[in-house]
Structure 1
């Protein structure tokens, strides 16, 4: 597992130790920690790490924007997933004393892991992450996007370090990652339908 460009001096802990200690998050998840590492496995999803260097406090999310074709309401793409994932992470950091003006970001994922129309989802996730961070004035210090890989990502909140290991996709890995991401996407659509309010 390698540290990305622009990361601080690597931690004394080995990659395997970081993985063992890490709090793992799944699609749709997020976490804020002061010391414990945070990890996730990405396919076409994107994970964004946010860090306040003054407080030595950080967090990470893991989001997948649903494809419009799976939803009867295109707003689900943003409202229930990408925007929500970013806002909830920022708010959790602010609740612990972070200041938005100090936040910096590192982001990963958006892989093209299947040879189908779903390949576009990774690209859309990357575009969303870049645009959201730019709009909010949060510098993106390092990133690793796209390509035919899954990624294991570990964020070390106490130092702001971020590690990313690319893994070439094999068929079993593709099936597992796609199944997990599709299940998450379907849960978002189901949630949106149950929460929809009709005015009359």
Structure 2
């Protein structure tokens, strides 16, 4: 192999290490959440009616984890980002999120999480629309709780327990989409 061929090969290989692309959305391999560096654990598109991509979700952790228990552990920072592929109203987002949270939690768990849910809903009461290409990020820090951002601008904070509640939409016993659960756990081939 000559030097030019080697250089082209190295450029090709190094380009893939910086970002993953999911249905046209670039998903960085690493992000900074406060003072914590996080790595991409998994990412995928939420598909509705088998053909319609709604958003791309990416999950970041201090190090890769492949079980729900490890990912949901409260003692580690984490970030979830949702990049929307079409516009929705905040009411649509809240209705869908609450329905999916309720499907993955008992009535007792929902009652305990009521304060966190109300805080999340209050944050989005001030935002009418989430537009195509908008990104919502939830950054969890064990010491400070969950920071919610829209397009990089903080829009609110929620108590610590909310992040676990939120992530169970995708990682719970009844995930919104089974193959997406596998992708977020970094086991896209389904071998959990």
Rg (Cα) greater in structure: 2
* Structure with greater strand percent: 2
Task: Mark yes or no: TM-score above 0.5.
Answer: no
**TM-score, normalised with respect to structure 1:** 0.29
Structure number with the bigger relative contact order (C-alpha 8 A, sep ≥ 6) is 1
